[in-house]
Amino acid sequence: MLNSHCFRLDAADEANEWHTQATDLLIRYNIPITPVCYHVAYEYVTQRHGELTRIIDAQLNKTGHLDSHFLFHLFENLCLEGAENDKLDDHLADLHNLLFKVLEGVTNNCSQTDLFSETLLNQSHALDANPSLEDLRGIAQTLMQATTQAMQNNRMLQDHLESAEEQSLSLQSEVKKLRDEISTDALTGLFNRRALNKRMHELVEAHNGASTPFSILMLDIDHFKRFNDNFGHVIGDEVIRRVGLIMRDQLRDVDFPARYGGEEFTVLLPGTDITHAISIAETIHQSVAKLILIKRSTKEKLPSVTVSVGAASCRRGDSPETLLERADQALYQAKEEGRNRIVSEAEITYM
């Protein structure tokens, strides 16, 4: 399902104008006019999807270039974000209905148990009344029938509960899987942009409420376009994936590494001041520099991978946007100064 931002019926004259602009945009950057690329280009020229527009503008300002890989990533993260939530809601509804069915079964069994108890009490009274031999046979038959029915009801309830438990475990597993998918970037296994935004708001709010230290890093793979142009998108994806693995290996459990978009990453560092954040950035920076990639088909050693990093620390009154802006400015300066370096917000001179 497409995000509601990304699916509207436009008037014919507007649609024709935007179609021309979207096509021109793709041709300008030598991007094949596939359905996905065209869809993102069309949404961009309409300027009605604020987040998508902002990301593309930032990419153009930073690199002056777009490619199909970047547009596909935007489509996957911004234009399909409703589908997984719908699936999750369906599974939660199924789990809810299953619990109601269990409750219904237990309630019904309790009613049957009450009837069995009433039968036992009635037959007990009959025994107290000095019954005849024929009456005793009737009481015995009634008790046998009631006991048999009670045993059948208990077996049915047990089967019902066992089936419900199996279904519940399956649904819970699906819910967890979908929640993980909703918050995870498929290529790197890191958190995705949606999860990042949510966690960012939580940490900024916590900082403003209790002044606990909180810093962020923004990382960009240097000259990433060269990997795509010279070796193809498969190698480019592998570079992104390996950098993501390094980040996960070097960070603490409490840290929050996310793929921000394309070859750019963000790391949220709760309980961390700017000095410690720089130290963490240096560890990641050095580990990436040691990365060795070999092209399997030719055994060719690929060029070294390096990253530029910008670091910023949350200030009282910050919003997620202002904090990200300072980290992004620091990253921009690191790239302006030649890349393959770390810049703290305190060093920012490009404004």
What tens digit of pLDDT does each residue of 162-191 get? 666 666 566 566 655 656 667 888 899 999
Query: Which of 3-12, 111-120, 217-226: highest mean pLDDT?
Result: 217-226
Cβ–Cβ contacts within 10 Å for residue 29, how many? 16
266/269 Cα distance (integer angstroms): 10
Q: What percent of the chain has pLDDT over 90?
A: 34
Query: Cα 132–135–139 angle (5° rounding)?
Result: 135
Name which residue leads in pLDDT, 13 or 68. Answer: 68
Least confident of 11-15, 36-40, 87-91, 213-217: 87-91
Closest CA to 144 of 165, 103, 116: 116
Is the Cα dihedral 7, 48, 237, 241 positive or negative?
A: negative
Is the Cα dihedral 71, 57, 30, 43 positive or negative?
A: positive
83/186 Cα distance (integer angstroms): 15
- Give the mean pLDDT of 144-172: 67
**68-78 and 233-250 helices, crossing angle to 10°:** 50
* Tokens encoding 111: 């009613």
Task: Flag whether pLDDT at 256 surpasses 70.
Answer: yes
Cβ proximity of 108 and 160 under 8 Å: no
Out of 263, 321, 336, 347, pick the active-site residue: 263
Q: Hey, is 258 helix, strand or coil? A: strand
Going by pLDDT thresholds of 50, 70 and 90, the confidence category of residue 327 is: very high
277/221 Cα distance (integer angstroms): 18
Q: What is the DSSP letter of 303?
A: P
Supply the mean pLDDT for the chain: 80
Residue written as tokens 């949606």?
A: 194
Task: Flag whether pLDDT at 128 surpasses 80.
Answer: no
- Give the mean pLDDT of 20-27: 89
Closest CA to 4 of 52, 41, 70: 52
pLDDT at 68: 83
Task: Flag whether pLDDT at 149 surpasses 80.
Answer: no
Going by pLDDT thresholds of 50, 70 and 90, the confidence category of residue 5 is: very low
pLDDT at 296: 81
Cβ proximity of 190 and 249 under 8 Å: no
Cβ–Cβ contacts within 10 Å for residue 219, how many? 27
303/307 Cα distance (integer angstroms): 13
| Sheet-wide strand order for 214-221 | 256-261, 264-270, 214-221, 307-313, 342-344
Task: Flag whether pLDDT at 12 surpasses 90.
Answer: no
Cβ proximity of 340 and 307 under 8 Å: yes
pLDDT at 177: 61
pTM recorded for the entire structure: 0.59
* Tokens encoding 225: 């376009």
- Give the mean pLDDT of 264-292: 95
* Tokens encoding 155: 């077996």
Q: Does 263 qualify as catalytic in the annotation?
A: yes
Q: Looking at domain 193-347, what is its CATH homologous superfamily? A: Reverse transcriptase/Diguanylate cyclase domain (3.30.70.270)
**CA 82, 88, 93, 94: dihedral to nearest 10 degrees?**
130
Name which residue leads in pLDDT, 12 or 34. Answer: 34
pLDDT at 279: 96
